[in-house]
Amino acid sequence: MNIVGFDKEFNRLRSLIKENTLPHAILFTGTEGIGKRQIATELSRIILCKERGEDGCDCLSCRAFREESHPDFHILTPTAKGKASPMIRIDEVGELLTDLARLPLLSKCRVALIDDADLMNEAASNRLLKTIEEPTGDIKFFLIASKRSKILPTILSRAMPVSFSALDENVIVKLLTERGAKEETAREAARLSFGSMKRAIDLIENDGLTVMDDCLKFLNDNLTHKKIFAMAEIMGKDEKKRISGFFSALTLILRDVLLYYEGAADLNGKYRDLIYKYDKARIFNLLSLTAEYEKRLFANVNLRLFIEGYLLKFRRLCL
């Protein structure tokens, strides 16, 4: 498997597997959509492999792994019940641990991959902690999280931390063009992705790049109360990930203008009029406001009122 952008981290962990010194619990953290799960999955295949885990291995274990039918590899992901946000609950962790307690069938050990481990509730985290503290048999845990701060501190202290930085824009551009995207489109998506390949793909496939033009129009417009209520009504019916894209695009444009004030050589021609409307202090305040609301976006909020509150504060800062 071709691991792009994280060869150093991957090869270090692979060496630990070959030396039989890999800890029983490993925590991957970093921006969502940069390839953490892909790396954990490939390392899981190597751990379970009956041979040496080389690329293209055709042993019984690797064949079962590629066919997604390996009895010793277990994946746990958050689920949504009713209108509740996706979460990993104690009963789901319990089912996983019951499976892991059985003897391995194809390999010498079992591997569990817990995706979005930062979405485990406290009860589930404590249930998992007991097994991580005193594992029964040869079990490896890969925990994948975007927000390290959401992981139970006692789990953090017992898992080997591996931090992944955001992907370089040029790496994302290369991967997107290999998928068939035009270079100009790929570059714009890479800039908006903030280092996340998944986000860059979503932007292209879901027409998300038009958000830049929408944001530019928003920043150049006069934000009246009538427009605020109309925008809140429309955006209140939208998906949160599209609103997150709107916040990200606003942040990107405002940062570009701020860089101009800080002495950057040039400014995107589309943004030139903004320097006459937004001074340096105002941009700092708007960036702070946008970051605060983007952080709160995925909480349990009334979306229309949430957007309305943001736009009213945005207008107040612009007066």
**How confident is the model at residue 277, as a pLDDT?**
87
Total-model pTM: 0.76
Q: Could you tell me the domains of the chain?
A: 7-164 (3.40.50.300), 209-318 (1.20.272.10)
**How confident is the model at residue 255, as a pLDDT?**
86
**How confident is the model at residue 2, as a pLDDT?**
64
Task: Give, for all 319 residues of the chain, the pLDDT tens digit.
Answer: 667 788 899 999 999 999 999 999 999 999 888 999 999 999 999 999 988 777 878 899 999 999 999 999 999 999 987 766 789 999 999 999 999 999 999 999 999 999 999 999 999 999 999 999 888 789 999 999 998 989 999 999 999 999 999 899 999 999 999 999 999 889 888 887 878 898 888 888 877 778 888 898 999 998 999 999 999 999 999 888 788 888 988 998 898 888 887 776 456 667 778 888 899 899 999 999 999 999 898 888 899 999 999 999 999 999 8
Q: Which long-range contacts (CB under 8 A, 24 or more apart) does 168-172 make?
A: 168/5, 168/195, 169/195, 171/4, 171/5, 172/197, 172/200
